[in-house]
């Protein structure tokens, strides 16, 4: 028996989410739809200029951990915060979601990471992230018992930006594989793929990573092609299981033996796309660790993502477990 279904490793970031128009993005030099890394000075400037906001524990893998817990799964998390106000917010919030989070905080600088997320009327989110304490996550933060006891370890590609986090991930992957577990990752962002294409491909081809989550733009960037079919053909050769989300067109699961097309869940009111991919991963991994078919795993992912984008922020305000039961998926 496993103590945890999913162990998530990520940048422990407090999300500060506010609405704005496209003109605000232009005026402030923000790249729409991307994750922009910023320094402490720009972080303070954007925080001063943004309107009313919601503050919550975030970060890509943190969102996935919270989604797994919302489904009734057992989730754990590795991520670095500091002993400061935002660090207190992060610790309390993610634990309140039902996630086991015990990483030792920093004492002092750098401060806890924060991401100013600007949501435009079309629901697109533009993230401006100061990594702060995140860059201090290292191999000493790996809790070996959690790494051994989780059915799947899942980490975000964004973690390849802070160098010591790579050591933590490789150490966790070694422990997990030695215990007969699987390791998964998300490609996170086309810009992230551009920075680390060779390293991501090596993680897949070396067997360090078994399962890879991507959207269609990221997987095409990974293989430097404008053809989704060509990207999928390469994807299925490089990893045991690949998942590709396609927004309103649903998603695709590929293995070396089969390709499964998963229909999207209809969305009545698109509000905010923040965390959609993270929640898709949560639904899929919950199903996967509970022995469901790949098609049903994808349907759970689609449901979680659909609920996420009909509200502001990635922390679901409804019970995903109840929604899945009503949809006949649990």
Question: How many beta carbons lie within 10 A of that of residue 137, not counting itself?
Answer: 28
- pLDDT tens readout for residues 203-240: 999 999 999 999 999 999 999 999 999 999 999 999 99
Q: Measure the CA–CA gap between 91 and 79, rounded to whole angstroms.
A: 10
Backbone angles phi, psi at 247, to 5 degrees: 55, -125
pLDDT value, residue 35: 81
> Who has greater pLDDT, 235 or 2?
235
Q: Measure the CA–CA gap between 189 and 214, rounded to whole angstroms.
A: 8
pLDDT category of residue 177 using cuts at 50, 70 and 90: very high
pLDDT category of residue 70 using cuts at 50, 70 and 90: very high
In the chain, pLDDT over 70 holds for what percent of residues? 100
Residue range of the domain that includes 150: 4-326
CATH (domain of 149): 3.40.1190.20
- pLDDT tens readout for residues 105-144: 999 789 999 999 999 999 888 989 999 999 899 999 999 9
- pLDDT tens readout for residues 85-100: 899 999 999 999 999 9
**Total of domains in the chain:** 1
Lowest-pLDDT range, 34-38, 68-72, 140-144, 149-153?
Answer: 34-38
Rounded mean pLDDT of 26-44? 91
Instruction: Please give the mean pLDDT across all residues of the chain.
Output: 94
pLDDT at 13 over 90: yes
- For residues 10 and 59, is the Cβ–Cβ distance under 8 A? yes
pTM attached to this predicted model: 0.90
pLDDT at 327 over 70: yes
Geometric angle at alpha carbon 252, from 302 and 208, rounded to 5°: 100
Question: How many beta carbons lie within 10 A of that of residue 103, not counting itself?
Answer: 17
pLDDT value, residue 161: 82
pLDDT value, residue 330: 86
Question: How many beta carbons lie within 10 A of that of residue 248, not counting itself?
Answer: 8
pLDDT category of residue 294 using cuts at 50, 70 and 90: very high
- pLDDT tens readout for residues 307-320: 999 987 788 889 99
pLDDT value, residue 316: 86
pLDDT category of residue 303 using cuts at 50, 70 and 90: very high
In the chain, pLDDT over 90 holds for what percent of residues? 82
Q: Measure the CA–CA gap between 93 and 165, rounded to whole angstroms.
A: 23
Picking from 217, 256, 225, the residue whose alpha carbon sits closest to that of residue 238 is 256
Picking from 188, 16, 7, the residue whose alpha carbon sits closest to that of residue 101 is 7
pLDDT at 242 over 80: yes
HEC profile for the chain? CCCEEEEEECCCEEEEEEECCHHHHHHCCCCCCCEEECCHHHHHHHHHHCCCCEEEEECHHHHHHHHHHHCCCCEEEECCCECCHHHHHHHHHHHHCCEEECCCCECCCCCCEEEEEEECCCCCEEEEEECHHHHHCCHHHCCHHHHHHEEEEEEEHHHHCCHHHHHHHHHHHHHHHHCCCEEEEECCCHHHHHHHHHHHHHHHHCCCCCEEEEEHHHHHHHCCCCCHHHHHHHHHHHCCEEEEECHHHCEEEECCCCEEEECCCCCCCCCCCCCHHHHHHHHHHHHHHCCCCHHHHHHHHHHHHHHHCCCCCCCCCCCHHHHHHHCCCC
CA distances from 49 to 28, 42, 115 (A): 9, 11, 14
pLDDT at 36 over 90: no
pLDDT value, residue 1: 66
Q: Measure the CA–CA gap between 172 and 150, rounded to whole angstroms.
A: 11
- pLDDT tens readout for residues 260-280: 999 999 898 888 888 899 999
pLDDT value, residue 83: 95
């Amino acid at each position: 028996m496993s103590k945890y279904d999913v162990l998530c490793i990520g940048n422990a970031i407090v999300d500060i989410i506010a609405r704005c128009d496209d003109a605000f993005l232009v005026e402030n030099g923000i790249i729409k739809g991307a994750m922009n890394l910023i320094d402490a000075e720009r972080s303070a400037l954007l925080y001063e200029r943004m309107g009313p906001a919601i503050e919550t524990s975030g970060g890509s893998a943190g969102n996935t951990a919270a989604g797994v817990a919302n489904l009734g799964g057992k989730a754990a998390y590795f991520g670095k915060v500091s002993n400061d106000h935002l660090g207190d917010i992060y610790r309390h919030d993610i634990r309140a979601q039902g996630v086991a989070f015990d990483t030792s905080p920093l004492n002092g600088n750098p401060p806890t990471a924060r991401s100013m997320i600007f949501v435009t009327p079309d629901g697109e989110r533009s993230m401006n992230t100061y990594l702060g304490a995140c860059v201090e996550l290292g191999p000493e933060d790996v809790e070996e018992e959690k790494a051994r006891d989780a059915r799947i370890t899942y980490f975000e590609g964004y973690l390849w930006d802070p160098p010591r986090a790579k050591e933590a991930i490789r150490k966790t992957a070694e422990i997990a594989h030695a215990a007969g577990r699987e390791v998964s990752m998300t490609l996170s962002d086309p810009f992230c793929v551009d920075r680390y294409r060779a390293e991501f491909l090596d993680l897949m081809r070396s067997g360090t990573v078994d399962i890879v989550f991507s959207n269609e733009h990221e997987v095409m960037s990974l293989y430097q092609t404008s053809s989704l079919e060509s990207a999928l053909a390469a994807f299925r050769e490089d990893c045991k299981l690949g998942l590709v989300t396609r927004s309103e067109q649903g998603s695709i699961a590929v293995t070396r033996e089969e390709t499964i097309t998963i229909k999207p869940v209809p969305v009545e009111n698109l509000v905010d796309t923040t965390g959609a991919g993270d929640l898709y991963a949560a639904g899929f991994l919950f199903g996967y660790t509970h022995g469901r078919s790949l098609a049903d795993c994808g349907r759970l992912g689609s449901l979680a993502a659909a609920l996420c984008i009909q509200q502001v922020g990635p922390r679901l305000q409804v019970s995903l477990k109840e929604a899945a039961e009503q949809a006949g998926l649990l």
